[in-house]
Amino acid sequence: MKAVILVGGLGTRLRPLTCNTPKPMIPLLNQPFIEWMLQRLHDEGVSEVILAVQYLADRFRTTLGDGSQFNLKLHIVEEPEPRGTAGAVKNIEQLLDGPTFVLNGDVMTDLNLQEMLAFHHDKRSKVTIALTAVDDPTQFGLVEMNGDQRVQRFLEKPRMEEVTTNLINAGTYIIEPEVFRYVPPNQFYMFERGLFPVLLQTGDPMYGFPSRAYWTDIGKPQTYIDVHHDILIGKVRYGFRGTQIADRVWSEGEVTIHPSAQIVGPVVLGAGSMIGRGCRIIGPTVLGPRCQIGADCNLEGGILWEGSQLGEGVTLRHSVVGRNSSIGANSLIAEGAIIGDECILGPENRLERGIRLWPGTLLGERAISF
Ligand code: GTP
C-alpha cells in the first residue's frame, strides 16, 4: 500500500517556527514530526511513501534520504508552484496504482488506518474521509453523512445555528486514483473546495469514517505546545528516545544538572543540556539538545529547541524558544510567546500573550517590558 503525505504548505499559522523549518520537520519531543509519521505508516503496513513537497524541499531530502531508515521506499517530489491539496496529488498521479492513503503532514493522530481501509473496501468507496468530533464546529469544515455514512454535504465554518454535526474532516483520506480525472492538471485545486464537491455532483461514492482516535492539528502555536503535554502524560502514544533518569524525567544523553535544581516531570532533557543552580523545571517541559539553563530559572510548560540558552533568573511558561536563541537574564517569556531561531534578547525583557519574534531578532536590555 502507498501513502502520499502533503507537506507543501507554508505553515503560516506556526510562524516564526516555520520560517526556517517546514512544518512537518519541526521537532516534537526533539524528533522531526515527519519521522514519526513515516514510522507510523510503516507500522500500519505502508511500504511506499510519496512526499508532496513545495517549500524547503532540500530539508526533507537531507533528513529523510531514500526512506530506508524507516524501511520504506520514499519519493520526495517537488511541485513547481503550490498546487493545493488535490493538485499536489494530481501532480504525482503517475506513481499511484490503487487505493492510497493521503495524509495532511500536520496531523497528529493514532487513527487505525487498517480499520479505515477495511471500511473503504466494504463500502466500495472511491474516497473515504477520516472524521473527528470537535467541541466547537464553527471553526472547521464539517462533513454531513446519511445513516449509511455516505457523505451528503460539506459545510465550511458554519454559524452556530447552521451546525448539524460536530464531525470534521480530519485530514486523512483513502482515495482511488481514478477520481483524479476530475482534477485539472497543473492548477491549484483543493480537496474541500474542489474535488469533494465535484464528487457529490457526479455521484461517485464518498464515505466518512468517524473515529475517537487522538487527533490534533499541530500547526497552531497552542496546539503545538498542547501536543507535547498530551504525549508526555500518555494521552497519545509517541515513541521518544529518552531514558528515564527520575520519576517522569527522561534524558536523551549526557546532561548536567546542578544538585540544587528541582525537576518535576514530565520533562525531557536533550543530550548535552545543562541546568544551573537553583532552577525549577516543571513539566510538561522539553529541552532540545545542548540547551543551557542559567541559575535560578523557572520553567513550566516550555519547549526549547536545540542550542537555546537562558540567562540567570529567566521565567519561561507555556512558550517556545527556537534554535540557538539566547534569552537575557531575568526575562519573562510567557503565555504562548514564540521566539524564532537565533534571536538574542538582552536582560529583563518581558514577552507574553502570544507575542512572536522573527528569526534573528536582536533586543537590547528591557526593549520590551511593561
Ligand atoms: P497554514 O499556512 O498555517 O494554514 O498551514 P498550511 O500551509 O500547511 O496549510 P493547511 O494546514 O491548510 O494544509 C494542510 C496540509 O496540506 C498540510 O500538511 C500542508 O503542508 C499541505 N498543503 C497545503 N497546501 C499545499 C500545496 O499547495 N502543496 C502541497 N504539496 N501540500 C500542501
Average pLDDT, the chain: 93
Quick one: which atom of ligand 1 is closest to the CA of 53? Answer: 30
**Distance in Å, CA 104 to ligand 1 centroid:** 7
At 238 the pLDDT is 80
Q: Residue 90 carries which DSSP code?
A: H
- Who's near 322: CB < 8 A, 6+ residues apart? 16, 17, 305, 308, 338, 339, 340, 341, 342, 343, 359
Cell numbers that stand for 194 in this block: 474542489
- Ligand 1, atom 31: nearest CA belongs to which residue? 8
Quick one: which atom of ligand 1 is closest to the CA of 9? Answer: 7
CB atoms within 10 A of CB 115: 12
Q: How confident is the model at residue 56 (pLDDT cuts 50, 70, 90)?
A: confident
At 55 the pLDDT is 75
Span 2-217 CATH architecture: Alpha-Beta Complex (3.90)
**239: pLDDT strictly greater than 80:** no
Domain coordinates in residue numbering, the chain: 2-217, 243-363
Phi, psi of 316 (to 5 degrees): -135, 115
User: Measured from the CB, is residue 67 less than 6 Å from ligand 1?
Assistant: no
**Distance in Å, CA 105 to ligand 1 centroid:** 8
At 240 the pLDDT is 76
**Distance in Å, CA 238 to ligand 1 centroid:** 23
At 370 the pLDDT is 66
Q: Are 368 and 351 in contact (CB under 8 A)?
A: yes
Q: Which fold has domain 243-363?
A: UDP N-Acetylglucosamine Acyltransferase; domain 1 (2.160.10)
Higher pLDDT: 65 or 370? It is 65
Quick one: which atom of ligand 1 is closest to the CA of 52? Answer: 30
Report H helices in 233-317: none
Average pLDDT over residues 285-297: 97
Per-residue pLDDT reduced to its tens digit, 69-115: 999 999 999 999 999 999 999 999 999 999 999 999 999 999 999 99
Q: Are 23 and 104 in contact (CB under 8 A)?
A: no
In angstroms, the CA 345 to CA 302 distance is 17
In angstroms, the CA 50 to CA 88 distance is 11
User: Measured from the CB, is residue 13 less than 6 Å from ligand 1?
Assistant: yes
User: Measured from the CB, is residue 29 less than 6 Å from ligand 1?
Assistant: no
Per-residue pLDDT reduced to its tens digit, 292-341: 999 999 999 999 999 999 999 999 999 999 999 999 999 999 998 999 99
Give, in order, the Cα–Cα distances in Å from 279 to each of 65, 87, 296: 40, 51, 4
In angstroms, the CA 195 to CA 182 distance is 7
> Helix 57-64 to helix 33-43 angle, to the nearest 10 degrees?
60
Nearest CA to 354 among 11, 10, 17, 9?
17
User: Measured from the CB, is residue 90 less than 6 Å from ligand 1?
Assistant: no
Report H helices in 203-307: 221-232
Residue entry with cell 514564540 = 338
In angstroms, the CA 328 to CA 297 distance is 11
User: Measured from the CB, is residue 18 less than 6 Å from ligand 1?
Assistant: no
In angstroms, the CA 171 to CA 167 distance is 12
Lowest-confidence segment of 13-27, 236-250, 267-281, 301-315 by average pLDDT: 236-250
**Distance in Å, CA 191 to ligand 1 centroid:** 11
In angstroms, the CA 47 to CA 60 distance is 18
In angstroms, the CA 289 to CA 251 distance is 10
**Distance in Å, CA 276 to ligand 1 centroid:** 40
Lowest-confidence segment of 203-217, 232-246, 302-316 by average pLDDT: 232-246
At 108 the pLDDT is 92
Residue type, 127: V
**168: pLDDT strictly greater than 90:** yes
Quick one: which atom of ligand 1 is closest to the CA of 107? Answer: 18
Q: How confident is the model at residue 10 (pLDDT cuts 50, 70, 90)?
A: confident
Over 62-121, what HEC string results? HHHCCCHHHCCEEEEEECCCCCHHHHHHHHCHHHCCCCEEEEECCEEECCCHHHHHHHHH
Quick one: which atom of ligand 1 is closest to the CA of 79? Answer: 30
**Residues in a beta bridge with 168:** 132, 142
User: What percentage of the chain exceeds 90 in pLDDT?
Assistant: 79
Per-residue pLDDT reduced to its tens digit, 345-370: 999 999 998 899 999 999 999 998 86
At 262 the pLDDT is 96
